[in-house]
Amino acid sequence: MKSVFEDAKKRLHKLGKLSGMSNRVIASLSRPRSILCASLSVIMDDGSIEYFDAYRCQYSSLLGPCKGGIRFHPDVSQDEVQALALWMTIKCAVVDLPYGGGKGGVSVDPKKLSRLELERLSRSYMRAMADFVGPDKDIPAPDVYTNARIMAWMRDEFEVIKRQKQPAVITGKPVGMGGSLGRDEATGRGAFHVTEFLRNKEGKAAEDIRVAVQGFGNAGYNVAKFLYEAGYKIVAISDSKGAIYSADGLDVENVKKYKDKHRTLESEYCEGSVCETLESETITHEELLALDVDLLIPAALENAITKDNVHLIKARWITEVANGPISAEADRILHEKGTVIVPDVLANAGGVIVSYFEWVQNKAGYPWTLDEVRERLKEKLENTFEEMWLYQHQSKKSSLRLAAYAKALKRIDQAVEIRGTKEYFMNSGV
């Protein structure tokens, strides 16, 4: 199987070179600072014990404590976690957060676990990582197939181990357990804002934009909902089980309602699928990608678009809500074709921005209103988007992705400069 991490590094090297960055910063980002691998033992409901491979990667702490989600998915591997942690490093730097990048994951199919097994797995993860993470070291958050409840279990486990309240150890918690208002919708809301900034620059009406959304979880559902409310026509939606299409447009809340229909208290995950939605036809995952739409939103997993299927893509714009949904080679082909891509490190940054707000609120012990969260999120993304847009228009060959990497690498290079030699900061332990 192709290495996602090698692909991520290939992109880093290419964009670093194109943006004129020093070898020093590229070298410093070519390997993770540290990674902890663990085998989690979990007592199952039938009394047996199962073992799960778990990871936490602290990619870089040059700009602050590491920050990044925890994924529960059968395909989680050290390679994938490292790639995701590298992208988190770039993302936090692009949107001016005082964070480095990290990521974690467990190789598990969480849909096969009971709620109690899921809780034991989550607590076991935190027990394995408790000395590695911390509010000023490395702050996890939700990612694919993890959610606020899982963050709450992990916070609780950390506090039991440390024998003190530490709400800022993890973000994406339920509001009643130190979470921030607006965190659940933040990734989708952020992606909606950047899409709107792009639409305004391109001078198109929302009603004229036909959208296909791949992935209908936290990020995919929320971005689809906000776009739908703003008048965009959502013609296709998919999840892991399949895809649906309606030329007249889908009602996003209706789709969500049908998907949630079989949700049971025993399960943390939706058992239903978008495919159960009425008044739409079922299409394949591949057909969704090939639709003649204006905007394609990959919001599932990495490598959705590679050199093998990039020829299918007809969308004029792509908002990358998933992390790394387009491989480096496919990205080059789309760029040459003139497809405008809002890159993941900007498009899905709403999640980590509001995670940062949550961390700030936890540290200050002072919660913000929903309006404050939403306004500050929009302002941060607008400033960053404007900066990227300006950079992109300085040269014909440029792109929003190059602009984002150029900014991030410059910030990190300054930190390298200030802190001294690579050997110094690699070994300093913080």
- Of these residues, 9, 67, 91, 103, which one is catalytic? 103
- CA torsion sign, 185 to 278 to 302 to 35? positive
- Please report whether residue 110 would count as binding ligand NAD according to CB under 6 A: no
Integer angstrom CA distances of residue 423 from 5, 24, 36, 410: 23, 12, 20, 20
Question: Which stretch in 10-18, 108-116, 137-145, 360-368 sits in contact with ligand NAD by CB under 6 A?
Answer: 137-145
- At 426, phi and psi to the nearest 5? -65, -30
Task: Write down the least CB distance from residue 240 to ligand NAD, Å.
Answer: 4
What is the rounded CA–CA span in Å between residue 235 and residue 99?
A: 37
Tokens of 208: 């004229």
- CA torsion sign, 185 to 188 to 191 to 197? negative
Binder among 15, 223, 322, 416 for ligand NAD (CB under 6 A): 322
Question: Which stretch in 2-10, 56-64, 110-118, 213-221 sits in contact with ligand NAD by CB under 6 A?
Answer: 213-221
- Site residues for ligand NAD, 156-195, by CB under 6 A, read 187
CA angle 295, 2, 296 (to 5 degrees): 5
- Site residues for ligand NAD, 336-375, by CB under 6 A, read 348, 351
Shorter beta-carbon distance to ligand NAD: residue 19 or 319: 319
Task: Build a one-symbol-per-residue string for 272-311: x at contacts with ligand NAD by CB under 6 A, - elsewhere.
Answer: -------------x-------------xxx----------
What is the rounded CA–CA span in Å between residue 190 and residue 85?
A: 20
Active site residue 257: no
Task: Write down the least CB distance from residue 137 to ligand NAD, Å.
Answer: 21
Binder among 59, 99, 216, 405 for ligand NAD (CB under 6 A): 216
Nearest to 219, CA basis, from 68, 347, 97, 76:
347
Residues near 123 by beta carbon (within 8 Å), at least 6 away in sequence: 153, 154, 156, 157
Integer angstrom CA distances of residue 229 from 222, 257, 293, 298, 376: 11, 16, 18, 19, 21
CA trace torsion 383, 324, 37, 184 (10° rounding)? 50
- Please report whether residue 28 would count as binding ligand NAD according to CB under 6 A: no
Question: Which stretch in 17-25, 51-59, 140-148, 249-257 sits in contact with ligand NAD by CB under 6 A?
Answer: 140-148
Question: Which stretch in 38-46, 196-204, 320-328, 378-386 sits in contact with ligand NAD by CB under 6 A?
Answer: 320-328
Give the footprint of ligand NAD on this chain (CB under 6 A): 142-145, 187, 214-220, 238-240, 285, 299-301, 321-323, 348, 351
Positions annotated as catalytic residues are 103
